[in-house]
Structures are given as C-alpha cells and as structure tokens.
Amino acid sequence: MKGIPYELDEQTNVTPTVLSKLFRKLHLQPHHPLFILRKQIESYFPHFSYFNTFNPIVTVQQNFDDLGFPKDHPGRNKTDSYYINKQIMLRTHTSAHQLEVFRKGNNKFLISADVYRRDEIDSSHYPIFHQMEGAQIFNMNNAEQETLDDIRYVTLLDSTLSVREEVYDDTRISESNPTQSCHPLEQVDLIIRHLKFSLNSLVKKLFMHHDKNLKIRWIDGYFPFTSPSWEMEIFFKGKWLEICGCGVIKQNILNNAGQNDKIGWAFGLGLERIAMVLFDIPDIRLFWSQDKRFLDQFNNFNHNEIIKFQPFSKFPSCIKDMSFWLDKNQDFHENNFCEIIRNVAEDLVEDVKLVDEFVHPKTKKKSLCYRINYRSMDRSVTNEEINKIQEKVRIDVEAKLNVTLR
C-alpha cells in the first residue's frame, strides 16, 4: 500500500478502493446533499460547537477501548472494520472522537465525519458513509434548571411549526436497559427527557416539509458507551426506519475527560439514510457521483422547499451469477466476498445477493450461488465490459477465498 506511512501487519485489511475515498469529504463539499443536510442539522443546534475535520485514521483505543467496547465485541472483527494495522484503523463511527472533544472542555457539540465499515452490497450499503454525533452535558448541581429552561424555550419555538407528530414510546427503564447507579434518578430522568425532546424536535424540523403526519418510535437499544440506550425510528414508506442511536453517556467517559461534575446525553445518526429520504435519492452510490447531472440538482437548495432528485435515466443492469463450493466447515464471510467485487467493479456493482445454498449430501461440501447485479449510475455498460469484470472477480474470489468455482 504505497503512500501510507504506517507499518502493516496481519491485521491490515484496508484496500486501495477504500483509501482512495479518504480525502473526498463529501460533508464539506458545498451544495452536496450531505453538506446541505449537515448544515441544516447544525442550524437546529445553534449554540453548539461543530467539529467537521477530524482525521478518519484513528487508534483502536479511540474507536473502541475508550468507549468501553468489550474485547469480543463483533464490531472489532476484521470482517466488519478496516484496519491499517493492529493499533490503527479507519473510524467506524463518529463516537471515536467523543472523548477528545469532552477533554477539551466542550459541553455541547456536533461532530460530522466520514465513517468506514465492511458490509454487504446493495442500494443502501456502501463501505463509507457519514455520521453526525451530538452530545450535551449539564452541570450536575444545575441540571434541572438548564434542561427545563431549554425544553420550555424550544417548545415555544416549535409551536409555530405546521407539522403534527405522533411519538410512540413505551420504553421503560429496566434491568436490561438500566440507569447508571452513580446517577440520582430525578436527575437522569431530566437528562432523558431533554434527550428525547431534543431529538423529537430535530426530526420534526428535518421532516416538516416532507411529511405532515410524522410518526416517531422509540425502542430500547444497546451501546457500550451509554446507559440507558435507545434507537429512534420514523415511519417511512410502510416501514420503521432507524434514524439514530442515543443514550445517557457512561459516567466513566466523562470522568476520564475530566468532566466529573457533568451528566449528559449523546446521539449518533447516519446522514445518507436521512438524505436518501429527504431528497429521494434511490442509490447510496449516487452520493459519490461526480456527474454534474447529479451535483447541479442541489445548487439552489433553500431550506424552505423540498428538492427531489430527478433521476437522469435508469441505465440497464447486467446480471451475473456465480457459484462455488466451500469445503466442509470452511469459513466464509460475505463481507470478504463483497469487498473483492468492490475492488474490481468499484461503483459498477449495485447489488449482491445470495440466491441459492445447499449442502452436498455425500461430501458435505456447501454450495453457494450469488447473483451480482452490475449497473452504472451514469451510463450504459456493455455486456463485454461486464464479462471482463466478472472474469476478474472469479479469479480473485478463487485465489483469495480458497473456494472452488463451479
């Protein structure tokens, strides 16, 4: 891996395809939908500090250890995260920067950044996406005043909005989603009210031109760095769509940051998910498009209107199946398979699905059949071009995954 000044080891799994995206910074590119959405969210937290330029290369300590991730947490696996070496990785979430921002003495802030995860391939998954982290902490001896004043003030502002929201929340504090024993109950209760209030208000403002009958649902969640924890969902096109994770910050994180006398909440939300809904963007690869037909559509965005993406055209897809045998008990991880395809096809791959699977009754070998859907976002592809790509994918899959092609 030319050009990165890091020692590589057996944990290294970053790829040139992913590294080439490290400096794109879509959330900082004027008129880009992710830039617009970030600005809009920032405007709803007017008294916060904003951090938008942290380096995506972080230590495993920052990304996991500082936040209390157990050693066996699945997020740490090489199949799920990108490592430069055993100690250095690409951040998997904006929470990786929480501690350093608290350490600098910040009480309310937003962090926006690109984050990196190994994943499957379809219209809503891409190895790089963008998150926004928000946090607010209060003086323990003054939390009541601060939270209630805020709630009153924002309630007044929101009362002028022409949107009716229904909030479903039957979550209860319980042993499976407990408060922290160091927190007096009346105090956490205020923090929780302030958190849920702030996020309900955020979502209401984000979607006010989009959906006049917004439905919001709160469900219990789990994150190593918050307790209690929740996920917030909105009802969209007949389904509950997860918008963010949040909770009451684990006190030892604040203590480690030298903020022992504070108590507070944090949240993290995925920007692409929300932008796909707000702007009607059908495929996550479009965010990476440098095509003027995409980018120019957002040039004149104004907060009070909805801009819907007008697809330039749906180009034909080219579908190729690929089947192979795994030895009895052979390890196989779909993310590794998808990564090989990404590395060869880059943004020409739209979707990868397992379509058939069986075990041979005699040899006990397993056969998998995947359907790979190739399509360009901005032009027609030829069958000849895709055949070449598919041939290269087959060669790489056979060599790197140790499977037997059928």
Residues that bind ligand DAH (CB under 6 A): 93, 95, 133, 223, 226, 245-247, 266-268
Residue whose C-beta lies closest to ligand DAH? 268
- Answer yes or no: are the C-beta atoms of 31 and 290 closer than 8 Å: no
Query: How far does the chain reach from its first CA to its final CA, in angstroms?
Result: 32
Of residues 253 and 338, the one with the C-beta less far from ligand DAH = 253
Supply the minimum distance, in Å, between the C-beta of residue 267 and ligand DAH.
5
Supply the minimum distance, in Å, between the C-beta of residue 95 and ligand DAH.
4
- Nearest-angstrom CA–CA distance, 321 and 316: 17
Of residues 136 and 390, the one with the C-beta less far from ligand DAH = 136
Of residues 95 and 259, the one with the C-beta less far from ligand DAH = 95
Supply the minimum distance, in Å, between the C-beta of residue 261 and ligand DAH.
20
- Answer yes or no: are the C-beta atoms of 227 and 246 closer than 8 Å: no
Of residues 243 and 348, the one with the C-beta less far from ligand DAH = 243
Supply the minimum distance, in Å, between the C-beta of residue 76 and ligand DAH.
14
Supply the minimum distance, in Å, between the C-beta of residue 94 and ligand DAH.
7
Of residues 133 and 339, the one with the C-beta less far from ligand DAH = 133
- Nearest-angstrom CA–CA distance, 363 and 365: 5
Of residues 111 and 276, the one with the C-beta less far from ligand DAH = 111
Give the pair of three-digit tokens for residue 403.
């499977």
Supply the minimum distance, in Å, between the C-beta of residue 259 and ligand DAH.
15
